[in-house]
Structure 1
Amino acid sequence: MNDLVFAGVDGVIILALYALIMLLIGYYSGRGNKNLQDSLSNYYLAGKNLGFIALFFTLYATQYSGNTIVGYAPTAYRSGFVWLQSISFMTIIIGVYLLFAPRLYVISKKRNFVTPTDWIRYRFKSNKVTLLAIFLMLWGLGNYLLEQLVAIGQAVSGITGGTIPYQWAVVFFVLVMLIYEWLGGMKAVAFTDVMQGVVLMIGVIIFVGGAFYLAGGDMASITQRIAEVDPVKVGVPELMTSINWLSMLLLVGFGAAIYPHAVQRIYSAESERTLKRSFARMAWMPPITTGLVLIIGILGITLIPDLSNGQSEQIVGMLANQIASINGLFYWVMIIFFGAIVAAIISTADSVLLSFSSVISNDVYGRFIRPDAPEKRKVLVGKIVGIIVVFLLLMIAWNPPGTLYQIFVLKFELLVQVFPAFVLGLYWKRMASTPVFWGMLVGAVIAGTLTLTGNSTVFGVHGGVIGLGVNFLIAVIGSFIISKSNENEEELEEINLA
């Protein structure tokens, strides 16, 4: 997003307005709610009372970040129509949600769950399984939060043309995020998601319209032009590419659906009907969001051809420059749109931070350090630890050691190892804690070893997917071998999965 024609004072004004709106949302979300800071459920789950609109948009913001726009379009530019996979793996996430979300919601209401590992603890009644799940989830959340913090600085610096330097941009918007989240908790996060979600969807549609106007043709003629100059980008993918595509579907589909902040949206719904309605609408979002972003990248191939890999990372900003030059309306729409991209990145970061804090306050501090602590103190501890983690991640983002960066690359590869315990455990009572623990551990070790040794894929299959396969085998076969008596039959019988 470098060298935007609208970068500078106009960009600063729009970002300041977004920041002010977020702070006001945080203030009014917490105003009048005396119990907000005293209850884990009120602070982290909005009292489990999110209606259809708020739930839909907070689910939307959880699945789509501003990085979806600025990151997926360059991939489409470099890869061509092969990047159709972005639509499919975003769609499969919804399918995986529907596989377990309604059933989990009913159990969470009965048992008053706050975090995803509340379910793991209730289902397996095992500290070692719970602690390993906590570690893998915190790892995924920390990685995701680090990505968003870096993206905030880059996006703000880009839209203001460097008027606000990268470091100052990150610090300012992190402070804004911490303030409104501190004031309003999940409710503030959900309402900011509504704001940025509406603007982002409208902005993407107008962006595509402006790009088509500049391209001067329909999709068929544009595709024909690409086929003449770069046929690989419209050709049938090779076998290895197709295998990698399938692997990505499994990795992202299973991993993203059990992100802790995604699961907590399930807990936050005011009713099962509201939850199902929200997911029904979410099923339309992959073609509307990632589908349109794919088109942006494809149109960029004809409008700004022959960019290097590094240059292609700026394709969204380059196209925005051309679109903003059409007329005054498009100019201001592009400013508002890029401001919404920044807001979308912040809204993803705040969701991740809130979930990270909840796991610390409820699962780590509340279960293992001070089980007798009042909920008000647990909430406070989660807030404080969250702030500390944010600033530690900022230090890493500004001066990342090479080896440490490689470690943080692990995200889905480790997080997805929780999937068998989390979802299969919902339907199969015989699933036992000991093989589940060893399945998660061995799967994580395999995924981590392959990724850190530079073998992130083997014959096109991601290390996380290979680890997940081994994880499934150990958990399933081990559960058949181990008798119920070894797992404390009485406790297992207490578990109601109906």
Structure 2
Amino acid sequence: MGSIQLWTYGMVGLTFGLYIFIAWRSRVADTKGFYVAGGGVPPLANGMATGADWMSAASFISMAGIISFTGYSGCVYLMGWTGGYVLLALLLAPYLRKFGKFTVPDFVGDRYYSNTARVVALVCAIFASLTYVAGQMRGVGIVFSRFLEVDINTGVIIGMCIVFFYAGLGGMKGITWTQVAQYCVLILAFLIPAVAISMKITGNPIPQLGFGSTIAEGPHAGRFLLETMDAIQKDLGFNGYTSAFGPGNRSMIDVIAITLALMVGTAGLPHVIVRFYTVPTVRGARLSAGYALLFIAILYTTAPAVSVFARYNMIDTLENVAYAEAPSWFKNWEETGLIAWLDKNGDGKIQYRAGKPFEGKPSFTGQAGPYGQQVITNAPTPNGNELYVDRDIMVLANPEIAKLPAWVVALVAAGGLAAALSTASGLLLVIASSISHDLYYRVLNPQATEKQRMLLARIMVGVAVVVAGYFGINPPGFVAQVVALAFGLAASSFFPILVLGIFSKRVNREGAIAGMVAGIGFTLVYIAQTKFMGVAPWFFNISPEGIGAVGMVINFAVTCVVSSLTKAPPMYIRELVESVRTPRGAGEASGH
């Protein structure tokens, strides 16, 4: 244990030092450097930075954890996020880059010739970004609480301070080059344990192939890994790992809705879109989109393998094992409250079955039970399951479960922090630029000096960090679920307005404002009802994570209907739309 902690302090200290050094070297004094890194980032570097920005704590920590527990239906996150990135790269990025504005509200305000539309877009951007950044802060807290032996709240506060330093100091320029370093850290941290565990379980060093291979040794030797997982799951009362749409799984319409909400939410996420303004040309935007897709695919194709390896190893090392003989990884994680055991039948053994072990999350008294375990005060639920496992620990605990060296465990901790902090910094910049540029400079005070705008932007980064930290300490769900809600809000507000703004000359400001308000309004009400007010999902049984797809359809419909019933946009707006869609040369948007 001491060895793991020592390695973790070393790895985390080294990577944090690197990020701060890069931020200090990249510090900026003007708004163009602060918002879009001066527009001079090479496409390859921008592709890596986009990959890091994109692969948040949800991708690194939580996505594999959810697939690990839900099997096939958990892959909605994988399909939605990957498909969404393709949609963004093909449908939006090059056109928005050619338009040449700093932010999404800037595009909306100018395309729909309305400060009201700009402010509505700004509010939507802040809502989506704050929801998303809350998930990152929870990820930071989980990593710190386990590996540096501080409580989750302290971990979140440390993460807040680091992000504030390099987002406030270097702006987009500092964030971009920091994210290049963070991509290298997080991808190595994800791949090294995946390769080692794939080799251990299946004898195949390529996780994507090991996932579909046979088990190399032990009681299940010679059987396919997925076939074995199906049998184990069914024996313990769970659904089959590879089964789809049956009882206990998500319905087909829910899977489609979540996948669609994640796809179009991706394409509407402001912190990813702004990355395409940081390259010098439209061709550079297309190139960096291609590079980013490659860098993202490396992690996303590995995640399903990591999921099944972690699940197989966890059940193999815990099921029906006497608590006194439980492996060290279990005892280490038990201290965080993210895994817990309640001995219902008094036999001193860990029984893992389908069903909740007790009401709510574990609530420890601090006393030792008859087997040396922490005593839990929560009322037990009437089923045979005695084990509580928080899904968000699976990737982080995976190297310990597989008994990999301490330095690998520490590297995964550093990778989890890199994933969370890289995305958090991008989101905080979106919030800061939305208020300082889109609200203050473009609406309230067009005469504001460069110095005033920079000062306000840095103050807003600080305010956003504090709000994000609060939600990181009091999160409304698992990391990936919180992030899915952000995607739903982006899907129902931005995507239709961006697509119609680029591809339709007839859509006007009245339609855009009505569509955004209707789309995000419906989505917010549904999420509030089902997440916080105890109302069962009532629209075709679609879960709150998928309702953004319905909000998007409402937005499209309202925008088109209202636009057709009101006055067409002015001629100069129609000419602007035509020029954005027509490829007249790669350098045009940058004034070359």
Aligned match of 1:458: 539
Q: Specify the SS of the correspondent of 2:448.
A: coil
> Relative to structure 2, which stretch is displaced further, 80-89 or 417-426?
80-89
Aligned counterpart for 1:481 among listed residues 558, 565, 573: 565
Q: Specify the SS of the correspondent of 1:373.
A: coil
Q: Specify the SS of the correspondent of 1:74.
A: helix
The Cα shift of 1:202 comes to: 2.2
User: RMSD in angstroms over aligned alpha carbons?
Assistant: 2.6
Contact kept? 1:83, 1:294, Cα under 8 Å: no
Aligned counterpart for 1:319 among listed residues 374, 395, 398: 398
Q: Specify the SS of the correspondent of 1:235.
A: coil
* Distance in 2 (alpha carbons) for counterparts of 1:491 and 1:10: 58
Q: Specify the SS of the correspondent of 2:133.
A: helix
The Cα shift of 1:331 comes to: 3.0
Aligned counterpart for 1:433 among listed residues 496, 501, 509: 509
Distance change in 2, residues 1:80/1:286 (3 Å): farther
Structure 1 residue 107 and structure 2 residue 107: aligned?
no
Aligned counterpart for 1:15 among listed residues 8, 12, 15: 12
Identity %: 21
Aligned match of 2:44: 53
Aligned match of 1:228: 231
Gaps of at least 5 residues in structure 1 are 31-35
Aligned match of 1:165: 151
Aligned counterpart for 1:355 among listed residues 410, 430, 433: 430
Distance change in 2, residues 1:490/1:301 (3 Å): closer
Aligned match of 2:486: 411
Structure 1 residue 333 and structure 2 residue 412: aligned?
no
* Distance in 2 (alpha carbons) for counterparts of 1:209 and 1:105: 38
Distance change in 2, residues 1:241/1:284 (3 Å): farther
Structure 1 residue 291 and structure 2 residue 305: aligned?
no
Q: Equivalent residues in 2 for 1:252-267 (5 A)?
A: 252-267=262-277
Contact kept? 2:277, 2:285, Cα under 8 Å: no
Distance change in 2, residues 1:342/1:128 (3 Å): same
Aligned counterpart for 1:270 among listed residues 280, 291, 316: 280
TM-score computed with the length of structure 1 as normaliser: 0.88
Aligned match of 1:398: 473
Contact kept? 1:410, 1:448, Cα under 8 Å: no
Q: Equivalent residues in 2 for 1:86-97 (5 A)?
A: 86-97=77-88
Bigger Rg, which one: 2
Aligned match of 1:471: 555
The Cα shift of 1:245 comes to: 2.0
Aligned match of 2:328: none
* Distance in 1 (alpha carbons) for counterparts of 2:258 and 2:516: 19
| Aligned pairs, number | 474
Distance change in 2, residues 1:199/1:227 (3 Å): same
* Distance in 2 (alpha carbons) for counterparts of 1:408 and 1:210: 29
Contact kept? 2:511, 2:560, Cα under 8 Å: yes
Aligned match of 1:33: none
Q: Specify the SS of the correspondent of 1:334.
A: helix
* Distance in 1 (alpha carbons) for counterparts of 2:255 and 2:553: 17
Distance change in 2, residues 1:246/1:46 (3 Å): same
Aligned match of 2:189: 203
Distance change in 2, residues 1:6/1:140 (3 Å): farther
Distance change in 2, residues 1:460/1:286 (3 Å): farther
* Distance in 1 (alpha carbons) for counterparts of 2:293 and 2:241: 27
* Distance in 2 (alpha carbons) for counterparts of 1:92 and 1:278: 17
The Cα shift of 1:294 comes to: 1.5
Q: Could you list the per-position Cα deviations for residues 239-283 of structure 1 after superposition, in whole angstroms to 9, with x for gaps in the alignment?
A: 953322221222111112221111110111122222212222333
AA of the residue aligned to 1:458: F
The Cα shift of 1:460 comes to: 4.7
* Distance in 1 (alpha carbons) for counterparts of 2:396 and 2:484: 26
AA of the residue aligned to 1:102: P
Distance change in 2, residues 1:312/1:44 (3 Å): closer
The structure whose residues are more often helix, as a share, is 1
AA of the residue aligned to 2:228: R
Distance change in 2, residues 1:79/1:390 (3 Å): same
The Cα shift of 1:197 comes to: 0.8
Structure 1 residue 140 and structure 2 residue 128: aligned?
yes
TM-score computed with the length of structure 2 as normaliser: 0.75
